[in-house]
Structure 1
Amino acid sequence: MSMAANQPLVSIITINYNNVAVTCDLLLSIACVNYPNIEVIVVDNASAENPTAALVEAYPGIKVIVSEKNLGFAGGNNLGIKAATGDYLFFVNNDTVMTAGLVDGLLEIFQQYPDAGIVSPKFHYYYAPGVIEFAGYNQVNVFNGRNTMVGCRKKDYGQYDKVSETHYAHGGGMMVPAKVIAEVGMMPELYFLYYEEFDWCEQIKRKGYKVYYQSNALIYHKESMSVGKHSTLKTFYLSRNRILFMRRNVKGVPLVLFTCYFTFITLPKNVATFLVRREMKHLQAFWKGIAWNLSNYNIKNS
């Protein structure tokens, strides 16, 4: 107990939505974490059945918050923030599996880099052992509003085993000091799903902090377990929030360039693709994402 008392408390926060078996796998993996001073918070986003009993069985002492409605990724995590008492908050997807040195490795960044505002570990694909998903993020392209992960789908030979500043944290696993959240504010709930962590990182950077990738911390990701790899929900929010992110974080000529690119290249290309594939529901979701931005044109920049 004395060793834990001398180390900062880390609040691990995750969201469950109709996926209690996957969430329990995450909770069981927390038992392997070496760091002794943690609290675990699960926010249930209005699942069909209350998962509390199963979650407590998987991890006794857990804090379970059951929301009456689905608040999305940001809203759910913000409920977790309100309940957290830790000096550092570690947000993880429920479809991740932790490793022994994960928490220690992330905390090292804040000890070594005073300008650190948020940090993510290295991600490996759970179902493809030794293959990297994430070793940092490249900047969102001002033309198309998209970006790429560093090292994605490459075999891990240690080529990214170096701490580095990166443009954005990975929403599936990111640690933030409580004091930074107090200064910057909680996650932007406007997004509901996708791009909110990018926007949050932009807000954190505007306060003078940096985003880091920690190679000496590893997490495994099952990838898209909650939403599904090819769902209309994903099509809608990716389309809507891609535009929303650019509106809130890009100004002047770059925003004009993005608008032109989206209008004359992205839009006709996506429409043609959905028509050829006869994916009419996805086409409808894509248009709904665009229409949302047109009808919410007065949203202020971040």
Structure 2
Amino acid sequence: MCNVIDSPLLSIVTINFNGYKDTCELIDSIKRHIHSVSYEIIVVDNASRQQEGELIKSNYPWVSVICSTVNLGFSGGNNLGIKQANGEYIFLLNNDTYVCDDHFDVLIKLLKENDRMGIISPKIRFAAQPQLIQYAGFTSLSHITLRNKAIGYAEVDNGQFNSTYQTGYAHGAALLIKKTVIEKIGLMPEIFFLYYEELDWCTKALENNYEIWYSGSATIYHKESQSTGEASPLKTYYMTRNRLLYAWRHKEGLLKWVSLLYLI
């Protein structure tokens, strides 16, 4: 039995965009495994074809479904869900992820006990090769290339990243944040639409003296780029565009222009 109540501790927000099957698998996995905390699930349908939002409403009447008439992108869709969230903690989960354990309470406890800890991401493994790690934290962004690396990427998970530590940035596929932090730093920047918005958000949190953490105490499985396609033209366009946009927003002086010239 799922632990859904009217005044939940946790709000789980996910975006559906022509990904009905994945979204259903995520909801089913949450219902099956998460019992340690009270929660609500909010699905934002980003103007999918075939009225997928209505299908989700019909099949999961206990899930809050918000149907947008336009595609708001990753940041806009998440913001729409965040505005409706009732929980003290908000977990942004990609719809192409699923859970296999009940350790969300550990992540919440970490945030609750540390006022400066603003955002935390769990360990992420590849769904297609579940023994391999996709994310165990991020290195800092290069000041020039605005690229970074996922710690542990493609390594076999032998428990080497089971600890909890500060990291450069959270992962947009699985990101837990306090509502009070959002109230201070604002919603996700919608100017990005897709990609780099979580890096910008984390940067805003860091600028407001919050810390970004990773914890290997919980694991999420990620199917990776099901919505936009691996190395698709859409992904390439927004990754390139948004690196330039991030540099413009967050770099100053000579460093800004060096970074912009490199990226161009």
- TM normalised by structure 1 equals 0.82
1:124-180 Cα offsets, whole Å, 9 max, x none, are 001102110000011111121111111011111111111111111100010111111
Task: Tell me the SS of whatever aligns to 1:169.
Answer: coil
How far apart are the structure 2 equivalents of 1:106 and 1:232?
A: 35
How far apart are the structure 2 equivalents of 1:173 and 1:251?
A: 30
Residue 189, structure 1, aligned to residue 201, structure 2: no
Moved more, 34-43 or 100-109: 100-109
How far 1:35 moved relative to its partner?
Answer: 2.4
Task: Tell me the SS of whatever aligns to 1:73.
Answer: helix
How far apart are the structure 1 equivalents of 2:127 and 2:78?
A: 23
Asked whether the 8 Å contact 1:24–1:54 carries over to 2, the reply is: no
Task: Tell me the SS of whatever aligns to 2:49.
Answer: coil
- Give the aligned partner of residue 20 of structure 1: 20
- Give the aligned partner of residue 162 of structure 1: 163
Task: Tell me the SS of whatever aligns to 1:238.
Answer: helix
- Give the aligned partner of residue 77 of structure 1: 78
Structure 1 residue runs of 5 or longer lacking an equivalent are 264-302
Q: Which has the higher contact order (CA 8 A, sep 6+)?
A: 2
1:215-238 Cα offsets, whole Å, 9 max, x none, are 101100000000001221111111
Task: Tell me the SS of whatever aligns to 1:51.
Answer: helix
Structure 2 residue runs of 5 or longer lacking an equivalent are none
User: Which letter does structure 1 place at the counterpart of 2:86?
Assistant: T
Task: Tell me the SS of whatever aligns to 1:49.
Answer: helix
Q: Within 5 A, what are the aligned runs for 1:133-172?
A: 133-172=134-173
1:63-83 Cα offsets, whole Å, 9 max, x none, are 000001000000000100111
Asked whether the 8 Å contact 1:11–1:84 carries over to 2, the reply is: yes
> CA 1:58–1:122 in 2, change beyond 3 Å: closer, same or farther?
farther
How far apart are the structure 2 equivalents of 1:21 and 1:65?
A: 17
Task: Tell me the SS of whatever aligns to 1:224.
Answer: coil
How far 1:84 moved relative to its partner?
Answer: 0.8
Q: Kindly indicate which of the two structures has a greater share of residues assigned to helix.
A: 1
1:176-210 Cα offsets, whole Å, 9 max, x none, are 11111111110000000000000000111111110
How far apart are the structure 2 equivalents of 1:102 and 1:222?
A: 20
How far apart are the structure 2 equivalents of 1:155 and 1:139?
A: 23
How far apart are the structure 1 equivalents of 2:103 and 2:234?
A: 31
- Give the aligned partner of residue 245 of structure 1: 246
1:92-117 Cα offsets, whole Å, 9 max, x none, are 00000013223112112113322111
Q: What fraction of aligned residue pairs are identical, expressed as a percent?
A: 41
1:252-295 Cα offsets, whole Å, 9 max, x none, are 232233134234xxxxxxxxxxxxxxxxxxxxxxxxxxxxxxxx
Asked whether the 8 Å contact 1:28–1:59 carries over to 2, the reply is: no
- Give the aligned partner of residue 218 of structure 1: 219
How far 1:8 moved relative to its partner?
Answer: 5.9
User: Which letter does structure 2 place at the counterpart of 1:140?
Assistant: L
Tell me how many residue pairs correspond in the alignment.
Answer: 261
How far apart are the structure 2 equivalents of 1:234 and 1:215?
A: 28
How far apart are the structure 2 equivalents of 1:55 and 1:215?
A: 31
- Give the aligned partner of residue 129 of structure 2: 128
Asked whether the 8 Å contact 2:12–2:42 carries over to 1, the reply is: yes
How far apart are the structure 2 equivalents of 1:119 and 1:248?
A: 23
- Give the aligned partner of residue 231 of structure 1: 232
How far apart are the structure 2 equivalents of 1:222 and 1:261?
A: 32
User: Which letter does structure 1 place at the counterpart of 2:44?
Assistant: V
